Amino acid sequence: MATLRITKHGEDVLKRVSEPVDFDKLKKKLPGLLKDMWATMYGVNGVGLAAPQIGLNIRLAIIDVRPDQKPQRLVLINPEIVSKEGGIDEEEGCLSVPGLYAKVKRYARVRIRATDHHGKPYEMSGEGLLARAFQHEIDHLDGKLFIDHLSLTERLRVARILKDLRLNWT
């Protein structure tokens, strides 16, 4: 088990649309890969991590928003949003943009379809932080970061902050 370097805003791997996962091809490597991803995410107290954040452009992400303070490890392979409703404006951050938080409008409730770590398809509904995590992680697989949702004015404000923050990123 290893903790991996998390890619940062500005790196190409975060801007690319990731490739669908062929489960049978990834099957052998998947347990080791997931172990490293969990260690990396928990190591920095994250609630979600997508493969591009460890330098891989494949449609794989993990989420644990700890409902009721208990672990709930979700593996999302080739996730898709199948329904969405409502809207909520809340502060959001990202391990690839450390130190920056901004209000982002998201759907309040979403239902996703994905494949789990056994290769089994599932559907799951989420609201609150889980709904936000679903949308945030799927965005990563489409080459988008939460700051891409900000208004032009907000983005200009954030650009100045990012310039300073970037000096401390590794």
Q: Which is nearer to Ni ion, 21 or 47 (CB)?
A: 47
Question: How far is 129 from 81, CA to CA, in rounded Å?
Answer: 15
Residue nearest to Ni ion (CB): 94
Q: Which is nearer to Ni ion, 3 or 23 (CB)?
A: 3
Q: Who contacts 150 (Cβ-Cβ below 8 Å, separation ≥6)? A: 102, 104, 158
Q: Which is nearer to Ni ion, 94 or 114 (CB)?
A: 94
How many C-beta neighbours within 10 Å does residue 127 have? Answer: 15
Question: How far is 153 from 26, CA to CA, in rounded Å?
Answer: 42
Minimum distance between the CB of residue 132 and Ni ion, rounded to whole angstroms?
Answer: 11
Minimum distance between the CB of residue 152 and Ni ion, rounded to whole angstroms?
Answer: 21
- The residues that are catalytic are 137
Minimum distance between the CB of residue 54 and Ni ion, rounded to whole angstroms?
Answer: 12
Catalog residues that contact Ni ion under the rule CB under 5 A: 94
What is the residue whose two structure tokens read 């920056």? Answer: 100
